[in-house]
Structure 1
Amino acid sequence: MRATRLFLALLAAAPFASHASESWITPAEASGFRTTPSYADTLAYLHRVVDASHGTLSLQTFGTTPEGRPMTVVVAAKDGDLTPEKARAAGKPVVLLQAGIHPGEIEGKDAGLMLLRDFAVTGKLAHLLDHAVLVFIPVYSVDGHENAGPYFRINQNGPEQMGFRGQAQYLNLNRDYVKADAPETRAWLQLWNTWRPDLLIDIHTTDGADYQYDLTWYTEDAHKLAPSVAAWQKAAIDGDAIPHYEAMGHLASPYLEFKDGRDPTKGIENFGSGPRFSTGYAAIRNRAGLLIETHMLKPYAVRVHGTYDIVRAVLDHVNRDPAALLKASKDADTWAAALSAAPDASLAVTFKADPTSKPFTLKGYAFTQTKSDISGDTWIQYDPTRKKTYAIQSWLDLQPDVAAPLPAAWVIPAQWTAIISRLDAHHIPYTTTQAPVTVSATQDMLTNPSWAEKPFEGHHLLRDATITPAQATVTLPAGTVIVRSDDADAVLAANLLDARAPDSLLRWGYLDAIFEPKEYGEPRVMEALARKMIAENPALKAEFDAKVAADPAFASSPRARLSFFFERSPWYTAQKVGAYPVLRLDRTALQQVH
């Protein structure tokens, strides 16, 4: 294995025969993989390849970054099937391959240039897309790619200059899929909804532990997926593409998230992907997703060639059996649209580790553990000259945890434009009421909210709240938004709209105002009100005294003591503090609306 990798690295670094302008060597290959090209040089190379592709490639712009740079996508297909309409008419599955969402992890760009060349120009992979369409984003975070330097990826083994993890507004685009704050994400969502890909492949470079594998990979747990997608991924990725990749001379592993980074022998666990991540978002769109993580300590040449080979292996599988992937997508949409038909329908939105572990063989290196006089913690140091195999345990499997109810429809009042704008960004279909209508609806009341102490991706996330459903008769004004659940986008809608979903718009902080009372009582007024309430309800006095005795912080705060009474008064409850504005309708109520 070491000999194979060394051969690949030497081959990449060797001089190439020059044929003046007819040479199709990529910029990274020309440098012996010491460097990766700028965005301008990347586009220049792509233009050359497209011009020589005899109509099998199309170069398009699908958005503009905050700093004004074009976002570029390349479509690759035979028979002129370079539009979504032609791809669907030809019965070809669409694979969306993206690189550089984290621009310091840029192997996907350079491997993609090589793949396009070998498909469209040199003929080395001429049959790779006989029965599929490839939509390739060479650099997703373009502004981050151009903000390059030698100090952004600590400990990474090349290239010499690496892009910055955030885009120009300091957002991590691989945490933005649901909330869609960034212009790049909005452009990407438009691209997704235009093409409706059947498979998303997202290319990254991992950091952390050292081990023998040149690549790790991740697919979402089966419990997060439509059954047809879970079955396709298991057969196509686990059962075919990964063995094919290893047969090419590589070593791969499922994604390695160690339970304790100081001691790999304690086992691995699921890293906890969710809809904010690429593959998690593909899952709630009823589609297959594959995360590729090359290993940052391997030479850049090895990482690029590894990426080239794994993408080739996946496309080989799709090309051999396109109907299977198309059927998985179609069946997944049918499954999602039927979920709410079951009595008391619900959808798991959080997941927990399966308590039963499985044996796992880790192909790692020898390591030492030292008590650090700097951190005071254990310092692990690997010895990559000494291969070692460890028998450890794996907790990769997940089980459903919290479930969200699936109503016949969700209702969003027209004034909550932050929610409605996200529905539009994700292309979730909805209708609006044409006249006022009074119906019975379920509304969640949220109490005891708590927020993260530090900002994350520009937000203080709502970490927790007590959720109590309540039935109410409400009048929906004209213009109220109605999102039906008997639709392929039901899983997506539930993850955006339900208060229990960890990446819902509520959890990202777009509705924090509902927790803020706007009316209040002055202390002198509350003193009198408290005494009146105690006189009318002796049990309230007992509850108050018990809280004073049990909670020193409460007992020492005049404001908290008076708020105890105000929050139990009609002057507070009339404000409906914590009333979640997204309502749920059953079938009877939905029929009344329509």
Structure 2
Amino acid sequence: MPATLPARFLLALIALAPVAIQAKDTWITPAEASSFRTTPSYADTQAFLQRLAQAAPGTIRLATFGTTPEGRPMTVVIAAKDGDLTPEKARAAGKPIVLLQAGIHPGEIEGKDAGLMLLRDFAATGRLPHLLDHAVLVYIPVYSVDGHENANPYNRINQNGPDEMGFRGQSQYLNLNRDYVKADAPETRAWLALWNTWKPDLLIDIHTTDGADYQYDVTWYAEDAHKLPPSIATWQRAAYEGDAMPAYEKLGHLAAPYLEFRDGRDLTKGIENFGSGPRFSTGYAAIRNRAGLLIETHMLKSYEIRVRATYDVVRAVLAHVNKDPAALLQASKDADSWAATLSMKPGASLPVTFKQDPTSTPFMLKGYAFTQTKSELSGDIWVQYDPKTKKNYAIQNWNDLLPDVSASIPAAWAIPPQWTDAIDRLDAHGIPYTRTTAPVRVQAERDDMTDPTWAAKPFESHHMLKDVHIASSKQDVDLPAGTVIVRADNADAVLALNLLDARAPDSLLRWGYFNAVFEQKEYGEARVLEALARKMMAANPALKTEFEAKLKSDAAFAASPRARLTFFYERSPWYTVQKVGVYPIVRLDAAALSTIQ
């Protein structure tokens, strides 16, 4: 009998062991508890956050800022010291606001699990007590909630864990990181309302990259200086290159600028800018006059390494903000002033498209050895990496951009009231406007568009306008009562320009919201056009000469009876009165604007 006592005692200790471990660290996150093999469901994520908010009521606040198409709540977490948990209190305390978002692509979910650990260590364990001494964190643990819950082990073929991850699109199959400008998704509308409520000073967006294999556990991207207000470009350069990324590497990591290889089959050919724009998170922050940072963990590193890398890089960026909060606040203030005064400069314009700077800079890529084999299967080159063999490559970097096409900045834009989709987007983005109360005729600058071409297949539920020839002219324009007037003498001028100008690649025109203006609605019978053509040539010998020259130079035209007659119809008032290709949004100068106020 006495011989059995030690065995019973041992069994009792074993039974109590999980309780003892939990008592020692009650704040272990679900990902940590699984040794980073899994990532928690949305319900488990919310439960952890709710428990944290209950434990730190003056430091952590949870709120719902929207509802997904499938009816799930969209949760945001506010974290701050001294009870500064509202926009008003944050501003009164002189604290910059950092918007940190995870799971816009839910298969790339490190930001969620790293965020839980950061909030835990700030508010509960005391490991990072000074994380938010001088800043307020607005944290979205999962942006695309429906996509997050559409979890599957086969959603990301390139990725090393976790066991299951969410789907790239939300439940309507929209990619939220292409939706910032067009704002089709309910999630985007909710996000825009959150942005307009908080007006953050810095947006950090967490992703996981695809592509080549290399030694870095994090790559990062910030918009080119030519896309930014000068104060934001200066702040970002000092914050990221000058401080946060070196501090991150001192924690035992490797970081590099975003690696967009010119040829994925041969890394030695160099890297280039991936071509961000306002449809993307950091591109949208730029046209809102704010700093942005894209974090891309490396998909082939283990999930634990990726989460811990995210934890450390966000910690390093917040440490920089904490060191000099006034600098970020001043950069935001100066950026808004810069945007509001752009239209006051004679002949003011702003670049809306960008091209690669032909001058490259040297870059030492910390990669791995790789082989290139001609594949009998695909007929292409099969690249295979050897992660056991580190190798550095001296390559060239073409990340820098130069301005390309520019758009003029008017005193105001005028949108006739029937174009409700465009006006609805103004409301979604929070762009201020007024309406005319009576019809008015003004001289305005109008764009006439010809030779449109559209994408061959849909993109994000739209057939995008790929290219169009634009000719601008001053015209007398009749504006009906209720016309929307969007002034450019405010901080939203750059945002409005990118939404409303025909030249902007992410404008509402390019996304297809004005495709109807290219459609001819009235047509002429061939027998009638035969008579019209002869009458027009008799009245205008130069037109006859132009027609005959086109017959000689354009075989397809000469072979088409319809094209021959259309040549005359399109030069007649029966066609021009239809205003085919006339962009309905017009630009007003200061004199025209003064007549309708």
TM-score with structure 1 setting the length: 0.96
Is 1:335 paired with 2:343? no
Aligned with residue 431 of structure 2, among 419, 428, 432: 428
Where does 1:128-143 land on structure 2 (aligned, <5 Å)?
A: 128-143=131-146
Aligned with residue 519 of structure 2, among 500, 516, 519: 516
Aligned with residue 157 of structure 2, among 140, 154, 158: 154
Match of 1:551 in 2: 554
Q: CA deviation at 1:243?
A: 0.3
SS in 2 for 1:19: helix
Question: What do residues 22-77 of structure 1 show as CA deviations (whole Å, max 9, x unaligned)?
Answer: 61110000001010001111111111111111420000000000000000000001
| RMSD of aligned Cα (Å) | 1.4
Match of 1:292 in 2: 295
Distance 1:563 1:259 in 2: 45
Aligned with residue 311 of structure 1, among 310, 314, 328: 314
Distance 1:387 1:58 in 2: 45
Where does 1:479-490 land on structure 2 (aligned, <5 Å)?
A: 479-490=482-493
Aligned with residue 261 of structure 1, among 261, 264, 274: 264
Match of 1:117 in 2: 120
Contact 1:118 1:126 in 2 (8 A): yes
Distance 1:416 1:497 in 2: 12
Counting matched residue pairs gives: 580
Distance 2:389 2:349 in 1: 50
Contact 1:16 1:30 in 2 (8 A): no
TM-score with structure 2 setting the length: 0.95
Distance 1:562 1:502 in 2: 34
Distance 1:555 1:454 in 2: 31
Question: What do residues 504-547 of structure 1 show as CA deviations (whole Å, max 9, x unaligned)?
Answer: 00000000111111111122222222233233334334433443
Bigger mean CA deviation after superposition, 477-486 or 97-106: 477-486
The aligned amino acid for 2:594 is: Q
Where does 1:52-63 land on structure 2 (aligned, <5 Å)?
A: 52-63=55-66
Is 1:448 paired with 2:460? no
Contact 1:232 1:328 in 2 (8 A): yes
Aligned with residue 35 of structure 1, among 31, 38, 44: 38
Q: CA deviation at 1:486?
A: 0.8
Aligned with residue 474 of structure 1, among 470, 474, 477: 477
Where does 1:82-481 land on structure 2 (aligned, <5 Å)?
A: 82-481=85-484
Q: Please list every run of 5 or more consecutive structure 2 residues that lacks an aligned counterpart in the other structure.
A: 1-17
Q: CA deviation at 1:198?
A: 0.1
Higher-Rg member (1/2)? 2
Q: CA deviation at 1:16?
A: 11
Match of 1:6 in 2: none
Distance 1:29 1:534 in 2: 82
Match of 1:565 in 2: 568
Q: CA deviation at 1:471?
A: 0.9
SS in 1 for 2:232: helix
Contact 1:58 1:76 in 2 (8 A): yes
Q: CA deviation at 1:21?
A: 10
The aligned amino acid for 2:355 is: K
Question: What do residues 331-389 of structure 1 show as CA deviations (whole Å, max 9, x unaligned)?
Answer: 00000001111110001100000011111110011111112222222221111111110
Distance 2:93 2:67 in 1: 31
Contact 1:282 1:289 in 2 (8 A): yes
Bigger mean CA deviation after superposition, 138-147 or 373-382: 373-382
Match of 1:75 in 2: 78
Distance 2:474 2:78 in 1: 50
Match of 2:3 in 1: none
Distance 2:253 2:555 in 1: 61
Contact 1:105 1:162 in 2 (8 A): yes
The aligned amino acid for 1:564 is: F
Match of 2:13 in 1: none
The aligned amino acid for 2:418 is: Q
Q: CA deviation at 1:20?
A: 5.0
The aligned amino acid for 1:533 is: M
